[in-house]
Amino acid sequence: MNQLDATFAALADPTRRAILARLIEGEASVMELAEPFAMSQPSISKHLKVLESAGLISRGRDAQRRPCRLEAKPLAEANDWLERYRKIWEGNFQRLDALLGAMQANKTAGDAEQ
């Protein structure tokens, strides 16, 4: 899997997205991350492993606590990719909006003359 594939695969799970949203506020231990979820620490740890191998988070060295922190770069790359696709069509459609507006104005003017 390349980086983008790994990012999207990791983001496919709602718990992992919630974990990332929590980490935007700052680093947290497994225990702190498990708190809001009705989930055991081992299940949270599994999700953290997926996020870590996708490069979306890193773990601190502190052997006891091993705090998790967000790695922003892969997320930003995934977002850039989606933005490109959306922007192409949004650009096309905004031009189409303008064209339709002009056509309707012409039609109204034409109808008024008759």
17 vs 66, which CB is nearer to another protein? 17
Nearest approach, Cβ of 53 to another protein (angstroms)?
Answer: 16
What is the nearest approach in angstroms of another protein to the Cβ of residue 22?
Answer: 11
Which of 76, 103, 65 lies closest to 20 in space, CA to CA?
A: 76
Asked if 33 is part of the footprint of another protein (rule: CB under 8 A), the reply reads: no
Cβ distance 51 to 16 under 8 Å?
Answer: yes
Cβ 40 to another protein shortest distance, Å: 25
CA dist., res. 110 & res. 114, Å (int): 7
Residue whose CB is less far from another protein, 31 or 99: 99
Q: Are 56 and 79 contacting, i.e. CB atoms less than 8 angstroms apart?
A: no
DSSP one-letter code for 35 = T
Q: Greatest CA separation found in the chain?
A: 84
Q: Please give the residues from 36 up to 95 whose contact with another protein meets the rule CB under 8 A.
A: 72, 75-76, 78-79, 81-95
Nearest to another protein of 11, 51 (CB atom): 11
